[in-house]
């Protein structure tokens, strides 16, 4: 019993990682119009508040996962918390917009260290199977709690105080989590002390990801720099190609390509990236629709977004049970369907009607958002050995954050005219992306029978 209580307490501490990330995400999105007004930002510049975080988070996640596989995971976890909290303080004190962008980028770095080690520690604490699936369901549901708290805090802080408090709120949370981690988390290195950091792969992968997403994001800017944008995208693709070439022969590759021989890991990461892209673009679009088209206040926007958080909690709670009954494929397809139906409700009744329909549609979408996240997490971490758990967590988080940055960029590009028709086009495009995700799930995710067979097979470690 004592061990179970301690494991539950550790899960609570580790859940601070996704909690802080999504709390920060939802608070920042609620405050975007206020930040835009204070610094007179264009829509293309405004999305850097979201994308600067996503770039460094996505760019450094694989390195963060590798660090989690080499060094003491307790120290790594606490280091990520400290960096994220310090950057939040700087963001709240920012006198000009570029300081906010820089603070958001450093927050992303801290999160890139924090996220993979937290998920790796969950995988280490709980045995694979039903026990771990329940823990992952809780871990995947926590973001819905963070989102719900974020829209409330974001609305209250932005409406009654200042947008600066959306950054300050992370500081006490980080300090409390640091104290709890120092007391609860066990010390000790992983089971593979001979692992080393793949320096060439780390540099190529990180710079390649950041460059590629930076180029995609700049597509939203109407500043006659098309050639520069194309050069960025081309450079990012070239760097990532060089990264993959290096990884084929690297002794301690940051991304050993053999990991993709595991069932579902590639498709799970692709589905995670697509659905998070839609999630990021959806919240970016709806924030601007509710406040700038419908004319509601930040507090009203927060109230309208609350059902999404509640829906997410429902989706996460049901996902683990559904996986046991209808399998990963059935649960993921059902979740994606709920996501698409929610967006369709917003398009059909919310954009030209009442804010109540926006809230209702977002609430239905929230069920699918978290349900898909949980099933992707289970699929992407299945049958991963102890020495590669940081890698699996880093790869999954990279897919999600890369998708998040691209989703915000797509929303800014399609909705650049800031009109109702352009926002409707954005939301329709997001449903199409969900259709692609559903096709991948339908052809690549394990059915209930296949998942059961995998669970009872010998679990080889990925070398």
Domain boundaries, the chain: 2-184+254-456, 198-253
Q: Using CA atoms, how far apart are residues 58 and 109, in angstroms rounded to an integer?
A: 9
Q: Return the exposure string of 190-209: e unless at least 16 CB atoms fall within 10 Å of the residue's CB, then b.
A: beeeebeebeebbebbbbbb
Q: Residue 399: which of 383, 379, 413, 419 has the closest Cα?
A: 379
Distances (CA, A) of 104 to 86, 88, 92: 11, 8, 10
Q: Which residues contact 316 (CB under 8 A, 6 or more apart)?
A: 137, 138, 140, 141, 144, 370, 371, 373, 374
What's residue 364's pLDDT?
Answer: 96
Which residues of the chain fall below pLDDT 70? Answer: 1-2, 25-26, 44, 144, 147-148, 151, 188-196, 217-224, 263, 385-387, 446-463
What's residue 84's pLDDT?
Answer: 93
Q: Return the CATH fold of 2-184+254-456.
A: Growth Hormone; Chain: A; (1.20.1250)
């Amino acid at each position: 019993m004592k061990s179970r209580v301690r494991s539950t307490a550790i899960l609570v501490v580790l859940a601070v990682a996704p909690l802080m990330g999504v709390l920060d995400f939802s608070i920042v999105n609620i405050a975007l119009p206020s930040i835009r007004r204070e610094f007179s930002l264009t829509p293309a510049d405004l999305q850097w508040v979201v994308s600067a975080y996503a770039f460094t988070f996505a760019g450094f996640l694989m390195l963060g996962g590798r660090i989690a596989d080499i060094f003491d995971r307790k120290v790594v976890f606490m280091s990520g918390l400290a960096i994220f909290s310090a950057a939040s303080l700087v963001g709240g004190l920012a006198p000009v917009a570029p300081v906010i962008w820089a603070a958001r980028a450093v927050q992303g770095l801290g999160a890139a260290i924090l996220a993979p080690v937290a998920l790796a520690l969950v995988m280490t604490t709980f045995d694979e199977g039903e026990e771990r699936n329940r823990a992952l369901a809780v871990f995947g549901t926590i973001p819905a709690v963070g989102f719900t708290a974020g829209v409330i805090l974001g609305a209250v802080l932005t409406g009654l105080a200042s947008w600066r408090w959306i950054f300050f709120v992370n500081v006490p949370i980080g300090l409390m989590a640091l104290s709890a981690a120092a007391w609860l988390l066990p010390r000790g290195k992983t089971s593979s002390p001979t692992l080393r950091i793949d320096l060439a792969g780390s540099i190529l992968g990180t710079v390649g990801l950041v460059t590629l997403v930076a180029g995609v994001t700049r597509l939203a800017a109407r500043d006659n720099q098309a050639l520069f944008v194309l050069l960025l995208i081309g450079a990012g693709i070239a760097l990532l190609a060089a990264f993959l070439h290096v990884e084929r022969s690297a002794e301690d590759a940051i991304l050993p390509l053999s990991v993709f021989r595991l069932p579902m890991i590639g498709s799970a990461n692709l589905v995670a990236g697509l659905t998070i892209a839609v999630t990021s673009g959806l919240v970016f679009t709806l924030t601007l629709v509710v406040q700038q088209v419908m004319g509601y206040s930040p507090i009203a926007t927060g109230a309208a977004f609350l059902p999404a958080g509640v829906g997410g909690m429902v989706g996460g709670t049901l996902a683990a049970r559904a996986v046991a009954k209808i399998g990963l494929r059935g649960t993921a397809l059902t979740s994606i369907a709920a996501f698409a139906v929610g967006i369709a409700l917003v398009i059909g009744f919310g954009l030209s009607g009442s804010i109540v329909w926006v809230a209702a549609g977002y609430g239905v979408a929230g069920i699918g958002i978290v349900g898909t996240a949980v099933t992707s997490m289970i699929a992407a971490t299945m049958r991963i050995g102890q020495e590669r758990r940081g890698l699996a967590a880093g790869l999954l988080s990279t897919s999600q954050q890369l998708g998040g940055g691209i989703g915000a960029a797509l929303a800014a590009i399609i909705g650049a005219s800031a009109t109702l028709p352009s926002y409707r086009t954005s939301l329709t495009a997001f449903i199409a992306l969900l259709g692609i995700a559903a096709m991948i799930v339908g052809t690549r995710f394990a059915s209930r029978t296949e998942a059961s067979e995998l669970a009872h097979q010998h679990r080889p470690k990925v070398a």
